[in-house]
A = this chain, B = another copy of it.
Amino acid sequence: MATIYDVARLAAVSPATVSRVLNGRGDVNPELARRVEQSVRKLSYRPNGVARNLRRKVAAVWALVISDIENPHFTALVRGVEDVARANGHSVVLCNTDEDLERERAYIDVALSERMAGVVISPASDRQSALGPLLDAGVPAVTIDRRLRSSPVSSVVVSNRRGGYEATAHLAAQGYRRIACVAGPLRTTTAAQRLAGYRAALGEAGLPADKALVRVADYKEAGGAAAVAELLRQPDPPDAIFVTNSLMTMGALRALGEAGVTIGTEVGIVGFDDLPWAPLVSPSLSTVAQPTYELGRTAAEMLVHQATDPEARVRSVTLPTELRVRGSSHR
């Protein structure tokens, strides 16, 4: 592969001039610039990004570290982040941690090691974060979807508590009395907040907070199915369920189907995260929708802001959720 020296030699200029032309810096004689461009083409020269990064001490790439690549919620964020990144001359690479702190750490390591320009991350845990080294190194970072309790980092989240509250209050208003909740891993702020909203709504509706009606699962399909199967097996099963993410909702529907339960009539259901197929199941699925694109866009904009002004103080943005009432939550 051709280097900047090859180009310089062919164009009969110095490597410095080639660099200037390539980066549009400083004033270069148009004639020399022309010669450089011609040589670049002739040699099909591509700058070595690694050498450039070493010299500049930062790459043009952002890392978007998400906790579950198969969760449509997270993949929907991507577009928002990408659009802002491209507008600011950055590329986005995705890293999937699978809710695993060890893998989260490994990817933070890669981001740090490759001197990436910024990191947007949905942390696997609100406390034992792997972000420390990143922050110490001064790399711009923003958490998305979830917050971090252990360190001061800017974040963009949705109103999880309110979303959980509205879902549950809606079920109560529809006359359901034993409303269960399938929660996510409580080490995530989303799970904790959605559960808190559920509890608040129960209290307000004067419904008892039966511990047996709360199941902590793992935000995955199988976990949701298992949790619902257990709930149904109880002596006094629920007549409604608030399921706190889409993957678990899918599992819940499967478990309900396998148990021969009629959705809506026998057991009402509201899921967190709206999905394209929510209107297609029958009865159609009531959900708490999140502004996923906005979530990604906002996080990316905060990253740009941080990169521009390193003194920028930590900010936390909360975007609204929206209850979408469909067929699964009334009799």
Identify the A interface with B (CB < 8 A).
Answer: 1, 44, 46-54, 59, 61, 63, 69-70, 72, 75-76, 78-79, 82, 91-96, 106-107, 109-110, 112-115, 133, 136-137, 221, 250, 253-254, 257, 276-277, 279-282
26 contacts between A and B (CB under 8 A): A1-B137, A46-B109, A49-B110, A49-B112, A49-B114, A50-B59, A50-B113, A50-B114, A50-B115, A51-B54, A52-B113, A53-B114, A61-B110, A61-B114, A69-B75, A69-B78, A69-B79, A69-B94, A70-B78, A70-B79, A82-B96, A92-B95, A93-B94, A221-B276, A254-B276, A280-B281
Cα of A114 to Cα of B62 in the assembled complex, Å: 13
Q: Which of B78, B113, B257 contacts A47 (CB 8 A)?
A: B113
B76 and A70 contact, CB distance less than 8 A = yes
Q: Which B residues are in CB contact (< 8 Å) with A54? A: 48, 50-51, 54
Minimal Cβ-Cβ distance residue in B for A64: B94
Cα of A96 to Cα of B61 in the assembled complex, Å: 14
Ranked 9 nearest A-B pairs via Cβ: A49-B113, A93-B93, A94-B94, A282-B282, A50-B53, A50-B54, A280-B281, A91-B110, A69-B78
Minimal Cβ-Cβ distance residue in B for A54: B50
B114 and A114 contact, CB distance less than 8 A = yes
Most buried by B among A47, A136, A276: A276
Minimal Cβ-Cβ distance residue in B for A57: B50
Given contacts A78-B96, A94-B96, A137-B1, contact A280 B250 (CB under 8 A): yes
Q: Which B residues are in CB contact (< 8 Å) with A61? A: 110, 114
Q: Which of B82, B107, B136 contacts A91 (CB 8 A)?
A: B107
A282 and B279 contact, CB distance less than 8 A = no
Q: Which B residues are in CB contact (< 8 Å) with A82? A: 96
Q: Which B residues are in CB contact (< 8 Å) with A107? A: 91
Cα of A102 to Cα of B61 in the assembled complex, Å: 17
Minimal Cβ-Cβ distance residue in B for A76: B70
Minimal Cβ-Cβ distance residue in B for A94: B94
New contact pairs (19) apart from A44-B133, A250-B280, A253-B277, CB-CB < 8 Å? A1-B137, A46-B109, A46-B112, A48-B113, A48-B115, A49-B110, A50-B50, A50-B59, A50-B113, A54-B54, A59-B114, A61-B110, A69-B78, A70-B75, A82-B96, A221-B276, A253-B280, A254-B280, A257-B279
